[in-house]
Chain A
Amino acid sequence: MDAKQGKNFDLSSVFLPFLSIIVALAFGGLLVLIQGIQPLQAYRVLFATAFGSFDGIALTLAKATPLILSGLAVAICFRAGLFNIGAQGQLISGALASAWAGYTFVGLPTLVHIPLALIYGAFFGAIVALVAGALKAYRGVHEVITTIMLNSIVIALADYLTSTPFKEPDQPLTRTPKIQESAQMPDFLGLPLGFFLAIGLSVTLWWMMRKTTTGFSIETIGRNKNAGWYAGISVKKTVIISMLIGGAVAGIAGAVETLSITGRFEPAFNAGLGFDGITVALLGRANPLGVIPAAILIGGMRASASTVQFEAGVAPELVDLLLAMILFFVTAPLLAKFFKSRKENVAMTSGWSN
Chain B
Amino acid sequence: MKTLLEIEGVSKIFGSVIANEDISLSIKEGEILALLGENGAGKSTLVKAVFGLVKPDSGSIKIDGEVMESGDTAAAIAQGVGMVHQHFQLVPVMSVTENLILGDEPKKFGVVSMKRARSEVLKLSKHFSLEVNPDAKIEDLPVGMAQRVEILKALRREVKLLILDEPTAVLTPQETDELLEVLRKLAKRGVGILFITHKLREVMAVADRIAVLRGGRLVGTTTPKDSDESKLAQMMVGRDVVLSVAKSPAKPEQVLLAVKNLRVNDDRKIEAVKDLSLEVRSGEILGVAGVEGNGQRELVEAICSMRSRLSGEVFVKGKSVPNMNPRAAHLSGVSHIPEDREKHGLVNSYSIADNLVLNRFNEVPFSRGWIRDLEKVAQNGSELVDRFDIRATSASVSAASLSGGNKQKVVVARELSQQLDVVVASQPTRGVDVGSIEFIHKQLIAARDSGSAVLLVSAELDEILSLADRIAVISDGKIVATFSSAEADRNTIGRLMAGLSA
Which residues of A come within 8 Å of B, CB atoms? 1-7, 211-214, 216-217, 220, 223-224, 226-234, 345-346, 350
Q: Which of B339-376 touch A at CB < 8 Å? A: 342-350, 354, 358-359, 361-362, 367, 370-372, 374
Q: Does B16 contact A (CB under 8 A)?
A: yes
Q: Which 3 A-B pairs have the closest CB atoms?
A: A232-B327, A230-B344, A231-B359
A3 touches B401 (CB 8 A): yes
Q: A12 CB to closest chain B CB, in angstroms? A: 14
Q: B216 CB to closest chain A CB, in angstroms? A: 12
A223 touches B326 (CB 8 A): no
Q: B135 CB to closest chain A CB, in angstroms? A: 28
- Return chain B residues, CB-CB under 8 Å to A212: 370-372
Residue of A223, A228, A231 ringed by the most chain B CB atoms within 10 A: A231
Q: Does B338 contact A (CB under 8 A)?
A: yes
Q: Does B306 contact A (CB under 8 A)?
A: yes
Q: A78 CB to closest chain B CB, in angstroms? A: 14
- Return chain A residues, CB-CB under 8 Å to B362: 213, 216-217
Known: A1-B19, A6-B398, A6-B400. A220 touches B358 (CB 8 A): yes
Q: B270 CB to closest chain A CB, in angstroms? A: 21
- Return chain A residues, CB-CB under 8 Å to B328: 232
Known: A230-B345, A231-B326. A211 touches B374 (CB 8 A): yes
Known: A4-B14, A216-B361, A227-B346. A232 touches B372 (CB 8 A): no
A223 touches B349 (CB 8 A): yes
Which residues of B come within 8 Å of A, CB atoms? 14-17, 19, 44-45, 306, 325-330, 336, 338, 342-350, 354, 358-359, 361-362, 367, 370-372, 374, 398, 400-402
B359 touches A6 (CB 8 A): no
A350, closest chain B residue (CB): B349
Known: A3-B401, A7-B15, A232-B330. A226 touches B343 (CB 8 A): yes
Partner of B15, one of A3, A223, A229: A3
Give the number of A-B contacts (CB < 8 Å): 88
Query: Known contacts A214-B370, A216-B354; can you find 13 more A-B pairs with CB under 8 A?
Result: A1-B19, A6-B401, A211-B372, A213-B370, A213-B372, A220-B350, A223-B350, A227-B344, A227-B346, A227-B347, A230-B326, A230-B344, A232-B330
Partner of B349, one of A211, A213, A230, A346: A346
Partner of A1, one of B14, B325, B336: B14
B350, closest chain A residue (CB): A223
B14, closest chain A residue (CB): A4
- Return chain B residues, CB-CB under 8 Å to A350: 348-349
- Return chain B residues, CB-CB under 8 Å to A4: 14-15, 17
A211 touches B371 (CB 8 A): yes
A230 touches B336 (CB 8 A): yes
Q: B381 CB to closest chain A CB, in angstroms? A: 14
Q: Once the chains are docked, how many angstroms separate the CA of A41 from the CA of B123?
A: 71
A230 touches B370 (CB 8 A): no
Q: Once the chains are docked, how many angstroms separate the CA of A1 from the CA of B328?
A: 38
Residue of A4, A228, A232 ringed by the most chain B CB atoms within 10 A: A232
A213 touches B367 (CB 8 A): yes
Residue of A7, A213, A234 ringed by the most chain B CB atoms within 10 A: A213
Partner of A2, one of B346, B367, B370, B400: B400
